[in-house]
């Protein structure tokens, strides 16, 4: 199994018959930002916390991340047509 970035796998898994809406690009940016933060920024920040405040306080970083995620999720708007009762957009136009 090749070690490929997750963003590439997710953006290429869409069917090619579907028109490009830019959603794949946004999804790749979101996943890429998560990989950069989770793989680079968070460990550096955890090391700083461990050196200056003690290793027992590292879990507060994780708690802050989860709490921030919950707060952000509270402000998300549901856009799935089935969930909001709107008709699904048609990909085929009648001529």
Q: What is the domain count for the chain? A: 1
Residue 54: is its pLDDT beyond 70?
yes
Confidence band, pLDDT 50/70/90 cuts, at residue 94 = low
Q: What value does the mean pLDDT take over residues 77-95?
A: 69
Distance CA 14, CA 22 (A): 12
To the nearest 10°, report the CA torsion of 3, 26, 23, 67: 90
Residue 6: is its pLDDT beyond 60?
no
**Does some domain include residue 95?**
no
**Does some domain include residue 88?**
no
Phi–psi pair at 51, nearest 5 degrees: -70, -40
Residue 31: is its pLDDT beyond 70?
yes
pLDDT of 93 reads 63
Distances from the Cα of 90 to the Cα of 18, 81, 84, 93, angstroms: 11, 11, 16, 7
55 DSSP 8-state letter = G
**Does some domain include residue 86?**
no
Domain, as residue range, for 52:
6-79
Helix, strand and coil in the chain, % to nearest 5: 65, 0, 35
Higher pLDDT, 52 or 77: 52
Confidence band, pLDDT 50/70/90 cuts, at residue 52 = very high
**Does some domain include residue 63?**
yes
Confidence band, pLDDT 50/70/90 cuts, at residue 57 = very high
């Amino acid at each position: 199994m090749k070690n490929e970035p997750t963003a590439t796998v997710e953006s290429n898994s869409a069917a090619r018959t579907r028109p490009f809406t830019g959603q794949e690009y946004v999804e790749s940016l979101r996943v890429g930002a998560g990989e950069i933060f989770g793989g680079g920024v968070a460990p550096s920040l955890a090391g700083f916390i461990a050196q200056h405040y003690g290793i027992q306080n590292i879990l507060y970083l994780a708690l802050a991340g989860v709490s921030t995620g919950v707060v952000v999720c509270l402000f998300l708007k549901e856009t799935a047509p089935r969930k909001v009762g709107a008709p699904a957009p048609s990909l085929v136009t009648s001529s």
